[in-house]
Structure 1
Amino acid sequence: MRYKNGLIAGLIGLMMFSTAATAATRYVSDELSINMRRGPGTGYRISELLNAGERLNTLSEANGWTQVRTSDGTTGYVLTRFLSEQPAARTRIASMQEQTEQFKKENEELKQQLEEVRSGSQELTETKSALQSENEDLKQRLQQLRETSADAVRISNENEKFREELLSMRSDNERLRHENAALQSRRDGMKIGALIMIGGIIVGLVLPLFRRKRKGSSWDSL
């Protein structure tokens, strides 16, 4: 019966203690390490020694004691006054130092990236200058090709003109050759005609002389 009454009293005490506290995160004060006990009182055995700055999850709070759970899942009770809503100073400092190192690392990476960007920008500038120079060279070549093309067209037109003139001259030469041949033929004919005429004149002059000579010979014979 006495055991039963003690059990009931214990349950009532636990019910009073376990007045639900809003679940929250607490940190062990950075001034010292604290004991975590199996129950809400100094009469309970110490189950674990919690380091300063250790992070805890609160489960309930009553009568100056807080039920907590450690990061490895162990539950127990600690004095509420040894808990803080903010991480321990050295924990915050360590976190800040870690963040600072991370920022330094990121800063170095950003500097390196900036140098790469600058180097890439310089390369792009040089490439742009080279492309501009090449573009100017291509423009000059294009202009030369246009001029050469214009000269080629002009020369082709001149050659065509000369070809037509040559054909015309050949035609004129052929016509003149035929005319010369015709004139040569006419001249030869005129020469022959003149010779015939001269021969006829000579015959006409000489023949009467022969006739007179014959008549004279006849009279002499009589």
Structure 2
Amino acid sequence: MRLKYFIIAGIIIVGLAMPLQAKNIYVRGVTKITMRTGPGTTNKIVAMLLSGTQLEVLEYKKDWSQVKTDSGKVGWVLTRFLTEEVPNALVVKQLRKENINLETALAASRDKVQTLTSRNQTLTQIEKKYRALQKASADYLKLDAKYNELLKTTEEQKRQIQTLQDSLNEEEKLWFLSGAGVFIVGLILGLSSRKKKSSSLLS
């Protein structure tokens, strides 16, 4: 029976002295606590830890905990001065850091929005100019087609005018020749009648 109790007690003692899985823990709301070389007040002090200091727990042993600082220093502190709750000071510090990060991200987002807005305005202006050029090009093509059509019509009208003018010139020539013929015939007839009158008077 006693052997059974000894075995159970041994398991409990070994369990208390076993290393634990490393986890973060913090110094409670006291000004400072001592870190010693071993689990006891008679051991040498190796550091003074401020309230809110983050520690990594390596091992529990009765009322003491073996911890490790961020700088890598290892020592023992009283467990009652430790807590798993993040101190308010660290919470505030973390929130301030997150707030700064959010403000930075917000400023970057605003700059990005401003840049995108400026690019959008530029694209809108380019699109308007493109549409204006497109419309002008369409109008130019229409005017060019109309000009070519008018040019063809003008050339046709010139040919018609030239044809009419040539025809009129031919008619004028015919009228001139006809008039000249009539004049010559009249002249001949007049001369002939004068000769006849002269002959009758002489006889």
Question: Is the 1:34–1:49 contact (alpha carbons within 8 Å) kept by the matching residues of 2?
Answer: yes
Q: How far is the alpha carbon of 1:74 from its aligned partner?
A: 1.1
Alignment correspondent of 2:80: 81
Pair 1:36-2:29 in alignment: no
Alignment of 1:144-155 (within 5 A): 150=146
Q: What corresponds to 2:7 in structure 1?
A: none
| Structure 2 residue corresponding to 1:195, chosen from 190, 193, 196 | 190
Q: Which runs of 5+ in 1 are unaligned?
A: 1-14, 210-222
Q: Distance in 2 between matches of 1:94 and 1:53?
A: 11
Matching of residue 93 in structure 1 with residue 92 in structure 2: yes
One-letter amino acid of the counterpart of residue 107, structure 2 = E
Gaps of 5+ in 2: 1-13
CA shift at 1:47, angstroms?
1.3
- 1:77 maps to a residue whose letter is W
**1:161 and 1:29, CA in 2 relative to 1: closer, same or farther beyond 3 A?**
same
Aligned length: 189
Q: What's the TM-score, normalizing by structure 1?
A: 0.62
For 1:189 and 1:101, how far apart are their aligned partners in 2?
A: 123
Deviation at 1:192, TM superposition (A): 3.8
Inter-partner Cα distance in structure 2 for 1:83 and 1:165: 116
1:48-197 equivalent positions in 2, closer than 5 A: 48-103=47-102, 105-106=103-104, 109=107, 113=111, 116=114, 120=118, 124=121, 131=128, 150=146, 156=151, 159-160=154-155, 162-197=157-192
Measure the CA separation in 1 of the matches of 2:15 and 2:185. 166
Partner secondary structure for residue 58 of structure 1: strand
In structure 2, what residue type is equivalent to 1:186? G
Take 2:94 and 2:157, find their aligned partners in 1: how far apart are those partners? Answer: 96
Q: CA deviation at 1:76?
A: 0.9
Deviation at residue 57 of structure 1 after TM alignment: 1.2
Instruction: Give the % identical residues.
Output: 18
Kindly state the Cα deviation for residue 108 of structure 1 after the two structures are TM-superposed: 6.5
Give 3-state SS (helix, strand or coil) of 2:167's partner: helix
Name the CA distance, whole Å, in 2 between partners of 1:196 and 1:190.
10
SS of the residue corresponding to residue 41 of structure 1 reads coil
Report the alpha carbon displacement of residue 37 of structure 1 after superposing the two structures with TM.
Answer: 0.7
SS of equivalent residue, structure 1 residue 56: strand
Distance 2:144 2:99 in 1: 70
CA 1:154–1:29: 2 relative to 1, 3 Å: same
**Deviation at 1:146?**
5.3
Distance in 1 separating the partners of 2:100 and 2:154: 84
Q: CA RMSD in A?
A: 4.2
SS in 1 for 2:176: helix
Residues in 2 aligned to 1:46 and 1:140: alpha-carbon distance in whole angstroms: 90
SS of alignment partner, residue 158 of structure 2: helix
Map Cα deviations across residues 79-138 of structure 1 (whole Å, 9 max, x no partner).
Answer: 1221111222222233334434554x34872795498479759x949x67x949x968x9
TM-score (norm 2): 0.67
